[in-house]
């Protein structure tokens, strides 16, 4: 029987990773990863989000998507009522605050990356940092295995189309095979999920991505989601998250 770690990683993004065009209003690419123990995921994380869905929509088939929530479109058109939307966002923010997870994220300023003229791929740069930092965290917790046994951690990513999924898997396996800062073999396995899979973990990763980007873009702007999320960022013993749970590049 295969040996697995006690954790799952959920990955999503905000912004376009392509370099052909850069949106002046949001010139960033953000990759967000949520590290959650399987026990917590089953016992508290999934039930908490399902309770919100049942209360607001009457069922749990709705997939939480930050862009649709922000624009009150699709199933979130019911949130055009200001009071209903305020209550929904408060419940969602409270659920995020209570979620036992560690967040790892990379924010790429595509304008500055373009100036470097090194043909760097925002997605791969971000993925490498996040996988390295998650590996270090799991290794400290004894969740990567030992000389007798390797523990595999599954990393769930949302599908972005056949070609992009193929590129993602190639980059992922290259990084885990040793193309990383420590030149180490990282025991992670990618799982590509359909956009409508309704994975609660992927929805959480989606919800945290844009607030992280907006804080870097407009740090003085009130951002309640960031106030909650930054407490979840992986950090060192002094509570510093920059370079640990968050990387801003270049």
Q: Residue 133: give its domain's CATH number.
A: 3.30.420.10
Contact 62, 74 (CB under 8 A): no
For 50-81, how does the pLDDT look when each residue is reduced to its tens digit (9 = 90+)? Answer: 999 999 999 999 999 999 999 999 999 999 99
In the structure, how many helices (H) and strands (E) does the chain have? Answer: 9, 6
Rounded mean pLDDT of 80-85?
Answer: 96
Distance, CA of 229 to CA of 20 (rounded, Å): 30
Residues spanned by the domain of 110: 4-249
Q: How many domains does the chain have?
A: 1
**CA dihedral of 228, 230, 236, 242, whole degrees rounded to 10:** 180
- The answer to whether the bond into 250 is cis (omega within 30° of 0) is yes
pLDDT above 60 for 223: yes
Distance, CA of 128 to CA of 88 (rounded, Å): 35
pLDDT value for 2: 62
pTM equals 0.95
Helix/strand/coil for 98 = helix
């Amino acid at each position: 029987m295969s040996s697995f770690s006690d954790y799952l990683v959920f990955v999503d993004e905000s912004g376009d990773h392509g370099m052909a065009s850069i949106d002046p209003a949001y010139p960033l690419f953000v990759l967000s990863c949520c590290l959650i123990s399987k026990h917590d995921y089953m016992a508290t994380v999934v039930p908490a989000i399902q309770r919100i869905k049942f209360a607001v929509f009457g069922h749990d088939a709705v997939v939480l998507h930050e862009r649709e929530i922000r624009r009150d479109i699709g199933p979130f058109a019911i949130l055009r009522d200001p009071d209903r939307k305020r209550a929904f966002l408060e419940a969602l923010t409270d659920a995020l605050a209570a979620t036992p997870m560690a967040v790892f994220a990379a924010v790429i300023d595509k304008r500055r990356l373009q100036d470097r003229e090194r043909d760097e791929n925002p997605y791969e740069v971000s993925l490498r940092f996040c996988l390295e930092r998650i590996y270090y965290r799991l290794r400290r917790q004894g969740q990567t295995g030992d000389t007798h046994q390797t523990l595999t951690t599954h990393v769930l990513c949302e599908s972005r189309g056949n070609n992009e999924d193929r590129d993602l898997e190639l980059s992922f396996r290259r990084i885990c095979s040793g193309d990383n800062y420590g030149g180490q073999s990282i025991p992670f396995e990618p799982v590509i999920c359909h956009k409508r899979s309704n994975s609660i973990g992927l929805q959480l990763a989606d919800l945290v991505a844009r607030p992280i980007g907006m804080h870097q873009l407009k740090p003085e702007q009130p951002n309640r989601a960031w106030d909650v999320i930054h407490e979840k960022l992986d950090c060192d013993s002094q509570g510093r998250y920059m370079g640990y749970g968050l990387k801003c590049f270049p």
